[in-house]
Amino acid sequence: MAFNLKYFRYNESSILIEWPAVIDENLLKDILNYKKYIENYYIKQKVEVINSYSSLLIKYNVTIDNINDRLKELKALYRNRNNIYFTKPVIWNIPVCYDTEFGVDLDAFVQEKKLSKSEVISIYSDVIYTVYFIGFLPGFLYLGGLDNRLFLDRKTTPNLNVKKGSVAIGGQQTGIYPQDSPGGWHVIGNSPIQLFNTKQNTPCIIKAGDKVKFSPVDKLEHKNILDKVNTSNYQIKSISNND
């Protein structure tokens, strides 16, 4: 499936490519496949290609002297692409504790949504989410697929200190804060896993296009996992994908 793309000069050394502004898995597959084509085509130039929900930003390591030539190259790559770079996504199992200590906004959230805590946890845990892109903070996963019963606009006043591992909902999205940070999403729980680790060859093992399944754990299991994480004895688990 081909989309109607728009190409723009972003700055003197970057080009922005835009898809329709929607959150859609077929669109994501097209973006990630095209991203691979671009990276391979410019492999000797070592360009940086960054994706979001509906765009690619291509950052060249030199000034773009002839923008028309670059745009022709990119458009030809898109016309001639196929799906050879699309691979079956990994489904990652992420433990989450919804204890009151961690879900600091959960009471207010359930009141706003007129649901019980157990209903929110069940609805939230039943979904397999898609990782659309990683940004805001290193290792912050922007996840699509949230059940519309849990949609809630971001806070009008952000929290200045959202704790590392906080699992939160903002609008139609959900994600995990990989480190202590200000944030305006509603925190409903906490995951003890380490999403971003500079000591690893691949600092963030989860990538755009992967899937995430949240599994509820109690406070004791959260502590046990966190102890293993802190001693480098925990390995995030993947779920078999037979689709």
Which of 25-29, 176-180, 187-191, 204-208 is the most confident on average?
187-191
Looking at 80, 107, 137, which one is the last position of a domain? 80
Task: Return the CATH number at 201.
Answer: 2.40.100.10
Whether residue 225 sits in one domain with residue 120: yes
Looking at 56, 80, 104, which one is the last position of a domain? 80
Whether 223 is covered by a domain: the verdict is yes
What domain count does the chain have? 2
Q: Cα-flanking dihedrals φ and ψ of residue 190, to 5°?
A: -145, 140
Q: 183: closest CA among 146, 224, 212, 155?
A: 155
Upper half-sphere CA count for residue 212 (Cβ side, 13 Å): 29
Give dist(CA 25, CA 23) in Å, integer: 7
Whether 17 is covered by a domain: the verdict is yes
84 or 124, which is more confident? 124
If one counts every other C-beta atom within 10 angstroms of the C-beta of residue 109, the result is 20
Section 56-78 average pLDDT: 94
Global pTM reads: 0.84
Looking at 31, 56, 80, which one is the last position of a domain? 80
Domain that holds residue 19: 6-80
Whether residue 177 sits in one domain with residue 214: yes
Whether residue 105 sits in one domain with residue 135: yes
Model confidence over 104-162: pLDDT tens digits? 999 999 999 999 999 999 999 999 999 998 877 788 899 999 999 999 999 999 899 99
Q: Cα-flanking dihedrals φ and ψ of residue 183, to 5°?
A: -170, 150
- Compute CA distances 133 → 2, 31, 37, 51, 171, whole Å: 21, 11, 18, 6, 16
Whether 176 is covered by a domain: the verdict is yes
